[in-house]
Chain A
């Protein structure tokens, strides 16, 4: 009985559990450190369990709908709604499920890690309240089927994200980065809200599926498309709108940075959703495919070239995050460009999209892992400056192993997960345009070069006197890193089950616009 009740209300619990954990945090925090930490672990475990159970249900039985406030939440059009979805509907298809899995795994890893990493800070109740709000915002963004609801969750994740970026005041530097992030996010969100106003003014609907079925592609709709696509591209950190990423990623606590990566990917999900599901066949495939491809190639190249000269290890990794986002944009962009051509789509389009989507989950794991190792080094050595670090491999062997796993994965070296998704991208993009594929490979080589340098200056060399007191990091930090590292290795050694069970359904969901609409409107 309990089981079915929980299973039926999973989508509501997906948001309710982290919000509950967040809002009770200040009260629970008053009861002492042990109780608070127990509450944090409990909240993180419950959130991940709900997320993974929901994803499993979606992959086993197909799209899950949840109508908030209706007597029967799984019926998209209740009797009293007059044939249109007037309530907020959560629509979790395989693509959303993929994003939910990413957020669940990553949030679990970073919360365990943060228990030890942040233990020396003050004001931890607020920190964890914000962290759970950020998690709730990201989970909401990827599950909602309602455009205004998407905006609300976008704002929740932006606000919580900005507050977390500024959390370690750090003589004002972190607050400066937080202000920058908050300003840009708010400006972007205002643009999204204007687009929503334009769409509801014309079509009297906020539900994505309903809007998609009614869209006429008027001049106003084109304006709305620009107002939606540009802010979302900015929020996912694509060049030339990447300038906030290095600042925010560097100054945020490392556990938060690892989840900010996931929050950027939720914006990437939003961008794909808008292009594929909302506008779909109304767009000129080639134009918008190339829009994504150009963004992707620019991000890959500019990101990696900016990363190489960096002295601050987290800033360097932040530029690599920009660069890796390029791969996802490139893969999905190639798929979008050939969407109107069934032959090319079957030959390489789907593979390219699978590569792009697989890279999203792989990136969240290995980049999260890398940021966590950078945080571990900062935790013990007290500096992030590559010129001052050195010889840490003697005393922090496990951190070094985790860093190696992450670094080899980001560079696309077999047998780690970065290689699995990059291989899909290389081989499919090569059939679309060999030139693009070669750029992608060159960027990978530059990435490898950059991380070899980082590895060398952080871990190799003789023991240094100033780091004599350095020891291995506490167990919770290692456990958080290990969780992500295990995924990186597992998805690298056996990528096929992941691709078949998780990625291919997501690709189908991305392409199947009619299915998304029919899930709500019943095949009209």
Chain B
């Protein structure tokens, strides 16, 4: 019973992190904080991907001095690496947008950044 709970723990963490990230994105007015919320959600999704890849009692497919037993195909780990790289690119780009906006508008408050309407 405890081991099953332990296995489910990452998923609970994922849900908590996603809810936290969404709450930050919806409640904060500072663009940088909104981006932090988005980043938190990204981490949550990455954790979710890795968590789905865990196979009990199996080892990574590295063939030197390998112990007996099944090997787990590390597809999701590869996906997570890709997703982290994409996340870095997205965050960097959006933070640079936030910088330009601060330079041009003198604020990072989204309620005051409203030149586009209609």
B9 part of interface (Cβ distance < 8 Å): no
**Interface residues of B, count at CB 8 A:** 32
Which of B75, B89, B105 meets A206, CB within 8 Å?
Answer: B75
Across the interface, do B104 and A193 meet the contact criterion of CB distance under 8 Å? no
CB distance from B73 to the nearest CB of A (A): 8
Nearest CB in chain B to that of A248: its residue = B116
Across the interface, do B86 and A179 meet the contact criterion of CB distance under 8 Å? no
- CA gap between A252 and B12 in the complex, in Å: 41
Across the interface, do A197 and B41 meet the contact criterion of CB distance under 8 Å? no
Report if A178-B86 is in contact (Cβ < 8 Å); known contacts: A193-B45, A200-B52, A200-B75. no
Nearest CB in chain B to that of A206: its residue = B75
A163 part of interface (Cβ distance < 8 Å): yes
- Which residues in window 74-118 of B have CB below 8 A to A? 75-76, 79, 82-83, 86, 89-90, 93-94, 97-98, 100-101, 103-105, 113, 115-116, 118
CB distance from A179 to the nearest CB of B (A): 4
Report if A166-B38 is in contact (Cβ < 8 Å); known contacts: A175-B104, A197-B52, A197-B76. no
Across the interface, do A182 and B45 meet the contact criterion of CB distance under 8 Å? no
- CA gap between A155 and B94 in the complex, in Å: 13
Q: Which of the listed residues B79, B97, B101 has the most CB atoms from chain A within 10 Å of its own CB?
A: B97
Across the interface, do B101 and A159 meet the contact criterion of CB distance under 8 Å? no
Q: Which B residues touch A178, using CB under 8 A? A: 97
CB distance from A246 to the nearest CB of B (A): 7
- Which residues in window 39-78 of B have CB below 8 A to A? 41-42, 45, 48-49, 52, 73, 75-76
Across the interface, do A179 and B31 meet the contact criterion of CB distance under 8 Å? yes
Q: Which of the listed residues A177, A186, A247, A251 has the most CB atoms from chain B within 10 Å of its own CB?
A: A186
Across the interface, do A175 and B76 meet the contact criterion of CB distance under 8 Å? no
Across the interface, do B116 and A182 meet the contact criterion of CB distance under 8 Å? no
Across the interface, do A197 and B115 meet the contact criterion of CB distance under 8 Å? no
Across the interface, do B89 and A190 meet the contact criterion of CB distance under 8 Å? no
- CA gap between A183 and B37 in the complex, in Å: 11
CB distance from A203 to the nearest CB of B (A): 11
Across the interface, do A155 and B86 meet the contact criterion of CB distance under 8 Å? yes
Interface size on A, as a range, is 35 or more
Across the interface, do B116 and A159 meet the contact criterion of CB distance under 8 Å? no
CB distance from A141 to the nearest CB of B (A): 14
Nearest CB in chain A to that of B42: its residue = A190
Nearest CB in chain B to that of A310: its residue = B118
A143-156 near B? 1/0 per residue, CB < 8 Å: 00000100010010
CB distance from B79 to the nearest CB of A (A): 6
Q: Which A residues touch B52, using CB under 8 A? A: 197-198, 200-201
Q: Which B residues touch A201, using CB under 8 A? A: 52
Report if A172-B100 is in contact (Cβ < 8 Å); known contacts: A183-B94, A310-B118. yes
- CA gap between A162 and B95 in the complex, in Å: 13
Across the interface, do A172 and B105 meet the contact criterion of CB distance under 8 Å? yes
Q: Which A residues touch B41, using CB under 8 A? A: 187, 190
Across the interface, do B31 and A194 meet the contact criterion of CB distance under 8 Å? no
- CA gap between A134 and B103 in the complex, in Å: 27
Top 4 nearest A-B pairs (CB, nearest first) are A172-B104, A201-B52, A179-B97, A175-B100
Pull 16 A–B residue pairs with CB atoms less than 8 Å apart, ordered by A.
A152-B86, A159-B86, A159-B93, A172-B103, A177-B116, A182-B94, A183-B34, A183-B38, A186-B42, A189-B86, A190-B45, A193-B45, A193-B83, A198-B52, A206-B75, A250-B116
Residues of B bordering A, CB below 8 Å: 25, 31, 34, 38, 41-42, 45, 48-49, 52, 73, 75-76, 79, 82-83, 86, 89-90, 93-94, 97-98, 100-101, 103-105, 113, 115-116, 118
